[in-house]
Amino acid sequence: MWHEGERAVQRRAGQQERADHTGRSIGRVIPPVAARFLAERRTVVVGAADRTGRLWATQLSGPAGFVRAEGEHIMAVAARPVPGDPLAEVLAGPAEVGTIALDAAGRRRMRLNGRSVPHGPEGLRITADQVYANCPKYIQRRSPHDLPAAGPTTAATASSGGRLALGGQLAVASADTFFIATAGPDGRVDASHRGGNPGFVRVLGPDRLRWPEYPGNSMFMTLGNLELNPSAGLLLPDWETGGALLLTGRAEVDWSDPAAPAVDYAVEQVVELARATALAWSEPEFSPANPPVPR
């Protein structure tokens, strides 16, 4: 079940037995309860590699029902990335993807990883390879609402560069949530969630970030992938405007304290989308599981 990177991290953290227990929840079938969960979602995060092998994570949205199960093995998504998104071209063809369907209002999330193919002019069909639910830890409670329809002057626009501008640095420093895409040695992609109180991600410079790895489900899929492949993509949604900050770079795990690992992230490219989705979200109710942020 586990690849060598995941197993190495589980041993280092002393969590092998718990990981084996938790890992029994991973399947390849979308059960009825998961199908109902998907049908209610307004947003899904997708991670994939671009044509050069760099990993990115992005966010898709739509009305309830835009994500749905088609039988036990297929998740259909009636959306594609907006123009300017690094994954727009990639998801127009077959791709290995990792996904998270997030219910921020109910503090629930479900992950489905597999193989994506385009479906129609604006959709995806993803054949499931891994399906499992995650615990509600570190999810900030938010409720979505629709933004006004985009006009000619409010359509999606993108800007890019190799470093975080001041606005991007401030967005990262005040973030309470981000998503991370990583890949294993076989190229299979995983997308995961990270949350905490604002300030839990430290900006060390325009191209350097650091965040703590809070205790989770002990499977260590993200850190296990990073053990073998340092490439990682980050998505920081702008919950107020529907915009998004997308980063790709390289991550290194600091194990100097095995009980409290941290990740150092070197930014290699930045893409800022003015309108990634047509959703905005309410002010957050922070998770009671969030540890305090050191001052």
What does the alpha-carbon distance between residue 193 and residue 234 come to, in Å, rounded to a whole number? Answer: 10
Q: Which is more confident, 105 or 13?
A: 105
Query: Cα separation of 160 and 152, whole Å?
Result: 21
Domain-located, residue 66 = yes
In angstroms, the CA 74 to CA 266 distance is 35
Q: Is 255 part of any domain?
A: yes
Taking only the tens place, the pLDDT of each residue in 217-229 is: 888 999 999 999 9
| Residue 276 DSSP class | S
Give the per-residue pLDDT at 230: 98
Confidence (pTM)? 0.95
Residue 151 has pLDDT above 70, yes or no: no
Distance CA 176, CA 196 (A): 5
Look at residue 138 in the predicted model and tell me its pLDDT. 97
pLDDT for the residue numbered 153: 47
| DSSP per-residue letters across 5-25 | HHHHHHHHHT-HHHHHHHGGG
Residue 295, domain member (yes or no) = no
- CATH code at 51? 2.30.110.10
| Type of residue at 28 | R
- Domain count of the fold of the chain: 1
Mean pLDDT of 16-30: 88
What's residue 18's pLDDT? 87
Cβ atoms < 10 Å from Cβ of 47: 29
DSSP conformation class of 169: H
List the single range of 117-121, 130-134, 150-154 with lowest mean pLDDT.
Answer: 150-154
Tell me: pLDDT of 159 over 90. Answer: no
Tell me what pLDDT residue 13 has.
86
Contact, 51 vs 94, CB < 8 A? Answer: no
For residue range 48-90, what is the model confidence (pLDDT) as tens digits? Answer: 999 999 999 999 999 999 999 999 999 999 999 999 999 999 9
Question: Distance (Å, rounded) from C-alpha 137 to C-alpha 11?
Answer: 23
Position 21 pLDDT exceeds 90 = no
The per-residue pLDDT for 235 is: 98
Using a 10 angstrom Cβ sphere, with 0-12 exposed, 13-18 middle and 19 or more buried, the burial of residue 101 is buried
Q: What is the pLDDT of residue 160?
A: 81
Please report whether residue 294 resides in a domain: no
Quote the CA–CA distance of 278 and 97 in Å, as a whole number. 22
Q: For residue 270, what is the enclosing H or E element?
A: strand 262-273
Q: What is the pLDDT of residue 156?
A: 60
* 245 located within any domain: yes
Contact yes or no for 19/45 (Cβ under 8 A): no
Contact between 104 and 287 under an 8 Å Cβ cutoff? The reply is no
Average pLDDT over residues 250-278: 95
Name the residue range of residue 270's domain.
4-281
**Mean model confidence pLDDT for the chain:** 93
DSSP 223: H
End-to-end Cα distance, the chain: 40
How confident is residue 10, by pLDDT bands cut at 50, 70 and 90? Answer: confident
Residue 289: inside a domain: no
Q: Is the pLDDT of residue 155 over 60?
A: no
